[in-house]
Amino acid sequence: MFRAALRQYLEEAAKRAVTDGALPDVPLPSVEVDVPRGRRHADYATNLPLALARTAGRPPREIAQAIVDALEIPPQQVARVEIAGAGFINFFLAPAWLHDLLRHIYSAGDTYGNRDLGRRRRVNVEYVSANPTGPLHIGSGRNGVIGDVLANLLAALGYDVVREYYINDAGLLVHALAQSVEHHYFAHFGQEKPFPEDGYRGEYVRDLAMQIVQRDGNAWLARPEEERLTAFREFALGEILAEMRRTLEEFGIRFDVWFSERALYEQGAVDRALTALRERGLLYEQDGAVWFRSTSFGDDKDRVIIRSNGRPMYYAADIPYHLNKLERGFELLIDVWGVDHFGDVARVKGGLAALGVDTSRLEILLYQHVRLRNEGELLRMSRRRGEFVTLADLLDAVGRDAARYFFCMYTPSVPMDFDWQLARETSQDNPVYYVQYAHARISSILRETLNHPVGRALVAPAVLAGGQPFDLAAIRDADLSVLTHETEIALLHALAELPEVIEIAGRRREPQRLCTYARELAEAFHVFYTQCRVLSDDRRLTMARLILTAAVRLVLRRTLGLIGVSAPDRM
């Protein structure tokens, strides 16, 4: 709320300076208000004079002076304004304005930090979308957290968000899965059935076969192969998808839509898209296959789109799939893909562009892969070889909170190593505990309030149920001017940052900023806690600090909520 207000004041001042002739009439750049690193120089600062210097043709400090002269800010909001450095304007907030922040936070409650950038525009975020051929592995954990947190951020920014999972249930992969199950099924009855070339070797494949044995005995041995494979495929798909849903649920991820690739084929959407491409002269035949002229859209070579055996490639369905999403009324589509799918971006976007879609409406967020490290040794994961650590294993080992926080902490475009050994043994050193501990400490104080001679009279019993201890009237009447300690001021500044963090993290698709912020807020609280006692004999001070402390809990809870990590009341 401070930045937005300061921006407004600055814009008005600059316009006033132009009207008064103190500044030449040049276009105003977008006004930026920053927190100087470590708040060393000021609470807030703007580089507006520096940005204006060139077009205005005046020294920055002179411009700064003209703007400062024209500034009209109530003294109860900003205590001091100064010109510094090369031409920055520095602002020092009046304590009263900072105290107002607490009233603002309580009145916003769980919506504190929200913005209305989206204006209810509809966004589809598609993530995880792992092939339904086996358990989710660790990479899907990173994908899931990036997508889920991004969806949370966009919702907080006022977008109407739909979370979607695309099920690749149509291609060769699920066929190979069915054949793999069939192999184990026959083996159980001592019969030979060759293992498919691209088969799946994990232990779970044998388990699936055994479940069929248990249910149907040897009934399938004598049935026609096609019928058997169809039945095995459907059984395996159902089981695997159910297992995925369980794991994702445990991971705190829930989808609004599970979209079937096969449905696209059954509805003829794939054929329609291919026909449309053909009509535009973008397909041609060569070596028995049909090729897509993807070089027309920035690809480095043309690609096969229909194999010589008549089966379309994976990305052929991806084109109508994204058309389908647009037809469902989404203005923006965001896909979260592993970096190994990089090559598909040009194909899918090219296909869409060919059909007249403005491809700026499709944004593909690529994240680098997760490598697993064990005792310093890097492990490569391959599902086909049956070598991977599942997401379910990870959840068992480190828990949902640590896993989510860990995946969220890293910038998506940077590869991350997951140290299995460390993750298993770590509980104290994990950064998530630092943040959660701050929350638990606050809850502990609020509980303790009920036993405190001064505190008892101040708070509502709702504290015990984890609710807010104060109503808005109590906060309006409280004297917050006693919050003057350096650590209290620092804490207030930290609280003020959440809206900005949500906006930047959401707009730039950088969920890790939430983790950085959570840590900073927790740190500000821990420092305050060590230096200031909340519950004391001073009734006014106790009340003010309780209000501050409960506001920190609210903001921590909100931040952790966006990350999808729990906010425990005890640890």
Partner RNA sequence: GGGCCCGUAGCUCAAUGGACAGAGCAACGGCCUUCUAAGUCGUAGGCUGAGGGUUCGAAUCCCUCCGGGCCCGCCA
d(CA 367, CA 5): 36
Q: Work out which of 19, 218, 413, 481 binds RNA, going by CB under 7 A.
A: 413
Concatenated DSSP letters for 197-234?
A: TT---SHHHHHHHHHHHHHHTTTTTTS-HHHHHHHHHH
| In the complex, least distance from residue 413 CB atom to RNA, rounded to whole angstroms | 4
Q: x/- string (CB under 7 A) for RNA, residues 182-221?
A: ----------------x-----------------------
Segment 6-25, which members bind RNA (CB under 7 A)?
none
* Residue closer to RNA, measured from CB, 155 or 176: 176
Q: Work out which of 379, 437, 454, 474 binds RNA, going by CB under 7 A.
A: 437
Q: Verify binding: residue 399, RNA, rule CB under 7 A.
A: no
3-state secondary structure (DSSP) of residue 416: strand
* Residue closer to RNA, measured from CB, 191 or 308: 308
* Residue closer to RNA, measured from CB, 99 or 452: 452
Segment 108-167, which members bind RNA (CB under 7 A)?
131
d(CA 5, CA 71): 12
Q: Closest Cα to residue 48, out of 72, 16, 83? A: 83
Conformational region of residue 347, where left means phi above 0, alpha means psi within -120 to 50, and beta covers everything else: alpha
Q: Closest Cα to residue 163, out of 191, 202, 124? A: 124
Q: Work out which of 224, 301, 377, 465 binds RNA, going by CB under 7 A.
A: 301
Q: Closest Cα to residue 252, out of 420, 401, 367, 391? A: 401
Q: Verify binding: residue 365, RNA, rule CB under 7 A.
A: no
Q: Verify binding: residue 510, RNA, rule CB under 7 A.
A: yes
Q: Verify binding: residue 428, RNA, rule CB under 7 A.
A: yes
Q: Verify binding: residue 450, RNA, rule CB under 7 A.
A: no
Q: Verify binding: residue 409, RNA, rule CB under 7 A.
A: yes
Only one of the segments 138-146, 477-485, 550-558, 563-571 lies at the binding site for RNA (rule: CB under 7 A); that segment is 563-571
Q: Verify binding: residue 535, RNA, rule CB under 7 A.
A: yes
**Cα dihedral across residues 460, 465, 471, 477: positive or negative:** positive
Contact (Cβ atoms closer than 8 angstroms) between residue 485 and residue 524: no
Q: Verify binding: residue 50, RNA, rule CB under 7 A.
A: yes
Only one of the segments 118-126, 141-149, 467-475, 521-529 lies at the binding site for RNA (rule: CB under 7 A); that segment is 521-529
3-state secondary structure (DSSP) of residue 7: helix
Q: Verify binding: residue 57, RNA, rule CB under 7 A.
A: no
Segment 318-357, which members bind RNA (CB under 7 A)?
339-344
Q: Verify binding: residue 296, RNA, rule CB under 7 A.
A: no
Q: Closest Cα to residue 41, out of 84, 5, 80, 70? A: 84
Q: Closest Cα to residue 532, out of 522, 541, 519? A: 541
Q: Verify binding: residue 377, RNA, rule CB under 7 A.
A: no
